[in-house]
Amino acid sequence: MNRIDLREKLDQSDMVLVGLGEEFDDRARLRRNAEYTGLCGRLKDEGAAWLIPAWRELCSRRMGEGPVNQALERLTGLLEGRNYFVVSVSTSSRIASSPWREARLVMPCGTALRKQCSGGCREVLCQVTEDEQARLQEALERAERGLSLQAEGEALLGVCPECGAPLVLNNIYAENYNEDGYLEQWQTYMKWLQGTPNRRLLVLELGVGMDFPSVIRWPFEKAVFFNQKAFLCRVNERLYQLTEELAGKGCGISQNAIDWAGQL
């Protein structure tokens, strides 16, 4: 599907459902970065996997954020003025901060922008400050040099006011992930989705792998299967194929979704 075809599909559609996947975590470039993969393993071993999204974004910034930023700019521009909803299993802060239509984005896997109680206190959930972001970067740079992530007894993001446990980033890598950070917006998404049957629905599944197939991949296929007016465009470097049940109701494009969206 080329750019002209996509614009035609958009113009012919009443609603647009967009899924942004793991490729938007810049994995194509990061997996070639030995320093990135090495520290990811160490963070997991030390029980600090919740820092992986912050580490991922630091490495991505060092390599230059142009490709991801351009892809998101093109995509938000293309969707402007349309009735759409975006679901992302990426943890990218750049997705969270892009100028989507108000209340039309949900990120079930969290980001590096909020912090939560590591012990699971559900009432404790707040934004990470700029000073805390700088502190996290310094800690990651120390770890990159082989030093300890933090001084003995230090809590990088402070402690929970309820139980005194350290605060950690609110994302899927946290041991006691607090899902309250996205559940309200998920309900908004479910309500929007209820309005799609028998509407001309264009489904854009961009860079979605198999890490969390029950969030985007399988539900999107189901939505297209049961809606005779739906069309699925699946873009992925490797997992671009459509199921037999969707024959004639979509297309698969073998390309990195960041590169594809950047060319829109």
CA 41 to CA 63: how far, in whole Å? 20
Residue 152 has pLDDT above 90, yes or no: no
Torsion angle of alpha carbons 248, 4, 101, 262, nearest 10°?
A: 100
Exposed e or buried b for every residue in 6-33, given b needs 16+ CB within 10 A? beebeeebebbbbbbbbbbbbbbbbeeb
CA 129 to CA 252: how far, in whole Å? 41
Q: In a 3-state reduction of DSSP, which class is residue 230?
A: strand
188: exposed, middle or buried (C-beta count within 10 Å: 0-12, 13-18, 19+)? middle
Determine how many CB atoms are found less than 10 A away from the CB of residue 147: 10
What are 40-88's pLDDT values in tens digits?
Answer: 999 999 999 999 999 999 999 999 989 999 999 999 999 999 999 999 9
Where do the domains of the chain lie?
3-262
Exposed e or buried b for every residue in 195-233, given b needs 16+ CB within 10 A? ebeeeebbbbbbbbbeebeebbbeebbebbeebebbbbb
Residue 4 has pLDDT above 80, yes or no: no
Which phi and psi angles does 205 have, rounded to 5°?
-110, 105
Among candidates 85, 114, 105, which has minimal Cα distance to 184?
105
What are 137-146's pLDDT values in tens digits?
Answer: 999 999 999 9
35 Cβ partners below 8 Å, 6+ apart? 59, 144
Q: Say whether pTM exceeds 0.85.
A: yes
What are 14-41's pLDDT values in tens digits?
Answer: 999 999 999 999 999 999 999 999 999 9
What are 184-232's pLDDT values in tens digits?
Answer: 999 999 999 999 999 999 999 999 999 999 999 999 999 999 999 999 9
Contact 169, 112 (CB under 8 A): yes
Among candidates 37, 130, 17, 39, which has minimal Cα distance to 84?
17
Alpha helices in the chain (DSSP H): 3-12, 27-30, 34-45, 52-63, 66-79, 93-96, 130-144, 180-193, 217-226, 257-262
Q: In angstroms, what CA-CA distances link 61 with 1, 21, 58, 250?
A: 30, 19, 5, 34
- Which pair of tokens denotes residue 108? 């079930």
Given pLDDT bands bounded at 50, 70 and 90, which one contains residue 149? confident
Which CATH superfamily does the domain covering 3-262 fall into?
TPP-binding domain (3.40.50.1220)
Mean pLDDT value of segment 92-115: 97
Place of tokens 């990426």: 90
